[in-house]
Homo-oligomer: A and B are copies of this chain.
């Protein structure tokens, strides 16, 4: 399982029933919540995402439409008797914001809550199955994107073939990690004769709120799914730049230059009632584009073998 559920995709002001930014990346072991605009806890309930599976929350920056729902979610988790640890990866100032609110209500979370201030860039999570890196993006205030990378999986042993070479099962784990087998007579059995490659690791990049910035191309090159904001349609390029946001066309250009598998665009300005034109404009440049419509779940797949 490596799937992205959209909980909110509006910019700044909730409008036309669209909620501020929040997404959940679901894996076999855990859920990652990415940004947490106001109402995220209601959206989790509406779209039946289990909050008990959320192990880590990533906050890209401290504009309210990306984090005002966090304190409510954390508080509700406590009221619902959560016991497992929760990790928050966010700009350093958020820790104080959470603390002053907990202090005012006399609240101490009864589950272990670990706050990890974001470094400039680099690896912030490295654990069983997954790595997460953060990288800076260009916005009005410090802002980060996140790159989620599955860990390389072991190769699969083909038992019939391994058996035909009399390879003892004790050696299978070494086969899984790519080692050739050498028989008692000194004959080498090449690893790929008796194993097959596991599915290559999948990657998802979340670029948060950002100005059009070609420096992103190298960072997100070849990811299977790219989320890039598209706050405005292409005829608002000046306004987008002024506000450190991007247009449909700019989002699609990053996707194209980076040769990603699929693009999802969101963070639609509240001035637009209808968002279909966003898809039309982006698709001209990068056909495999979709809109971050609330409630959709995108299965992240490798578009091509690597």
Q: A105-B63, A105-B141 are in contact. Are A38 and B69 (CB under 8 A)?
A: yes
Of all A-B residue pairs in the complex, the 10 with the closest CB atoms, nearest first, are: A62-B104, A38-B72, A68-B72, A93-B104, A13-B76, A39-B39, A64-B75, A63-B105, A14-B42, A62-B105
A31 contacts B by Cβ under 8 Å: no
Encode A87-105 as 1/0 by CB contact (under 8 A) with B.
0000101101100110111
Q: Report if A106 contacts B (CB, 8 A).
A: yes
Most chain B Cβ neighbours within 10 Å, of A69, A76, A104 = A104
A42:B71 contact, CB within 8 angstroms:
no
- Asked whether, in the complex, the Cβ of A97 is within 8 Å of the Cβ of B106, the reply is no
Query: A101 — which chain B residues lie within 8 A by C-beta?
Result: 62, 64, 97
Interface size on A, residues (CB 8 A): 37
Interface residues of A (CB under 8 A from B): 12-15, 19, 38-39, 41-42, 45, 62-65, 68-69, 71-72, 75-76, 79-80, 91, 93-94, 96-97, 100-101, 103-107, 140-141, 270
Q: Closest B-chain residue to A101, C-beta based?
A: B97
Least CB distance from A44 to B in Å reads 10
Q: In the complex, how many angstroms separate the beta carbon of A291 from the nearest chain B beta carbon?
A: 20
* A152 and B108 alpha carbons, distance in the complex (Å): 47
Q: Of the candidates B38, B93, B96, which one forms a contact with A41 in the assembled complex, judged by CB atoms under 8 Å apart?
A: B38
Residues of B within 8 A of A79 (CB): 12-13, 270
The distance from the CB of A62 to the nearest CB of chain B, in whole angstroms, is 4
* Complexed CA–CA distance, A93 and B104 (Å): 7
